Amino acid sequence: MTPVSYDPTTYDLFIGIDVDKRSFSFTVRAGNQKTHRKMPSNPEQFYQYIQNHHTHRKVVCAYEAGPTGFGLYDYLIQKKISCFVTSPASIPKAPNERVKTNRIDSGKIAEYLMSGDFKPIRVPTGFYRELRDLVKIRERYTYERKAAKQRIKSLLLYKNLHNAIKSVDSRWSKAYLRELERLECSPAERERLNMLLSDLTYARKNLAVIHRKLRHFCREHEEIHNYMGYLESIPGIGFIIAVTILGTIGDPAHLSNSRELAAFLGLAPSEHSTGDTVTKGSITHLGNKVLRSLLVEGAWATIRKDTQLRQFYYRIRNKHHDHAAAKIAITAVARKMTQIIYRVLKDKRPYIEI
């Protein structure tokens, strides 16, 4: 979800909300005045509180995105109450901060909201939100598949069973899985291994289902289908990366520039300034980790297919002579790809190598 701007001077009452499943814990700031309240997590009840206590004030509310979704945001916007949502990573935390409570969290949000330091994100709407939900489901099952594989490897290593497997197939083929099913081991080890294999099968089946749903969803919505075509025309970007990009950023029409996209993905270089000197360093790593990882992975395929980006990769790699040279160079290619991604989405055209 891309960032959005707001002007704190247009409001005179700021409400930071810590949202959880059972309650809304919120801090109300108006100038030097600060109050804290708590109530059940009922959007209608929260709206009534604003109506009863702050009817004639210019109110703005905000909370961190989380497992509770956008229900509160949707309700307040529907009731014409200004509301923003932010990424949890956007709320600064002191290095020595040890205490975390609802009161402290809501107070921070209200403080940053009032000072103008709050960084809202654009909440996806319509079919872009549906796409985001499907992409999140795919990410969850991808994680579960990876976790199941790792647990199987750990069990084999811990019980010294890995040497009994003849296959060295690292792609988890049907032959490799059959060998795991026939592996001779103790009853307890067999029980544990069967459970882990069941977890892996479950994750794989659900991934296949969600992939079909994603493809059907993209074909069903013409706008998304067209954007997918533009993205998949870029060497190294296939269906999964393309659909994750759209599910993550939402409507591309809201993108301001390629730097914003790179920063959102955590691929923007960090900057250190002293006087008039600005030094650019390594990437910030702030942003969507899943998509950043996919883009870096896709960058390896890109440099095999795109002449210009391959030359760019070697130019960056040759500037560094340590073991991290390849990693630095491929990350630079991924960052370069964000410029191409931005361009094809804004121009609504396929990529053409010059």
Tens digits of residue pLDDT in 77-119: 999 999 999 988 777 666 555 567 888 999 999 999 999 999 8
- Tally Cβ neighbours within 10 Å of residue 245: 24
| DSSP 8-state secondary structure symbol assigned to residue 10 | G
Report the C-alpha dihedral over residues 218, 220, 223, 227, rounded to 10 degrees: 20
With b for 16 or more beta-carbon neighbours within 10 A and e for fewer, the 267-280 pattern comes to: bbeeeeeeeeeeee
Dihedral of the alpha carbons of 146, 150, 153, 154, in degrees to the nearest 10: -170
Only one residue has tokens 């990437």, namely: 283
Query: Cα torsion at 230, 233, 235, 239 (round to 10°)?
Result: 70
Answer yes or no: are the C-beta atoms of 224 and 169 closer than 8 Å. no
Axis crossing angle, helix 222-232 with helix 325-347, rounded to the nearest 10: 140
Q: Look at residue 15 and give its three-state secondary structure.
A: strand
The first and second tokens of residue 342, run together, are: 């931005």
Give the per-residue pLDDT at 274.
Answer: 41
The answer to whether the pTM exceeds 0.75 is yes
pLDDT tens across 202-237, in order? 999 999 999 999 999 999 999 999 999 999 999 999
Averaged pLDDT for residues 164-171: 68
Mean local confidence (pLDDT), 334-339:
94
Judge whether residue 39 has pLDDT over 90.
Answer: yes
3-state secondary structure of 112: helix
pLDDT at site 206? 98
